[in-house]
A and B are shown apart, each in its own frame.
Chain A
Amino acid sequence: DSGVTQTPKHLITATGQRVTLRCSPRSGDLSVYWYQQSLDQGLQFLIQYYNGEERAKGNILERFSAQQFPDLHSELNLSSLELGDSALYFCASSPAAHRGGEQYFGPGTRLTVT
């Protein structure tokens, strides 16, 4: 158990809908990262927050957004969902944000868009 929690574990929804994925980082970790894992794209970095502020963006679609709240939990919002958005979404956390820092991954949320 990494100490990172993600809810829900599974989510099934229809195309065009909007969903919110939630992540609670390890106690004391200030940095949160979101990753998407799909069969065709592999593991891709989406976005990072550090102590409530957006720090970096990766291959995140404009239909996707995220935020980190004062209690440091983070939410990833996915809207206008398409079949291709079906994937495993991971949240990871780290104590700080520096190159070479270890990231601790949650168990993931499996999103299925039908």
Chain B
Amino acid sequence: AQSVTQLGSHVSVSEGALVLLRCNYSSSVPPYLFWYVQYPNQGLQLLLKYTSAATLVKGINGFEAEFKKSETSFHLTKPSAHMSDAAEYFCAVSDFSGYALNFGKGTSLLVTP
């Protein structure tokens, strides 16, 4: 089965600092990878997805992620954190079974003034 592992359940950054959220995948075939964000008491919103067209993927709200096959990674970055970025971030991989998403355990991002 396809799976992802998110390193760090909590990440804290200062406002204006670089955001780096880590995700490693396990897949026997080229994966389809996603990052979703969940704000408190809300559903999940798609930030970006990788489907092999380009290794650097740009998403909404200034986020981007780079697919690195050699490192089996798909880390999410943002050059400058805003207070409004505080949320839970989930990395996910598309499975073969009905193409459902297999999610990581999530990383809670805290942005301090």
User: Does the CB pair A45–B44 fall under 8 Å?
Assistant: no
Task: Give the residue among B43, B99, B100, B104 with the most A Cβ atoms within 10 A.
Answer: B100
A4: which B residues are within 8 A, CB to CB?
Answer: 43
Chain A, 75-113, CB within 8 A of any chain B CB: 90, 92, 97-108
User: Does the CB pair B98–A48 fall under 8 Å?
Assistant: yes
B34: which A residues are within 8 A, CB to CB?
Answer: 102
Question: How many Å lie between the Cα of A100 and that of B106 in the bound state?
Answer: 20
User: Does the CB pair A90–B94 fall under 8 Å?
Assistant: no
Which residue of the partner chain, among A2, A57, A103, A107, contacts B101 with CB atoms under 8 Å?
A103
Give chain B's interface residue range (CB within 8 Å of chain A).
20 to 34
Interface of B is mostly: loop
Give chain A's interface residue range (CB within 8 Å of chain B).
20 to 34
The 3 A-B residue pairs with the shortest CB-CB distance in the complex, in nearest-first order: A56-B98, A100-B32, A43-B103
Residues of B near any A CB (own CB < 8 A): 32, 34, 36, 42-46, 49, 51, 90, 94-106
13 further A-B contacts with Cβ under 8 Å, apart from A101-B99, A105-B44, A106-B43, are: A33-B98, A42-B106, A48-B100, A58-B97, A97-B98, A99-B94, A100-B32, A100-B51, A102-B49, A103-B46, A103-B101, A104-B46, A105-B43
Residues of A near any B CB (own CB < 8 A): 2, 4, 33, 35, 42-45, 48, 50, 55-58, 90, 92, 97-108
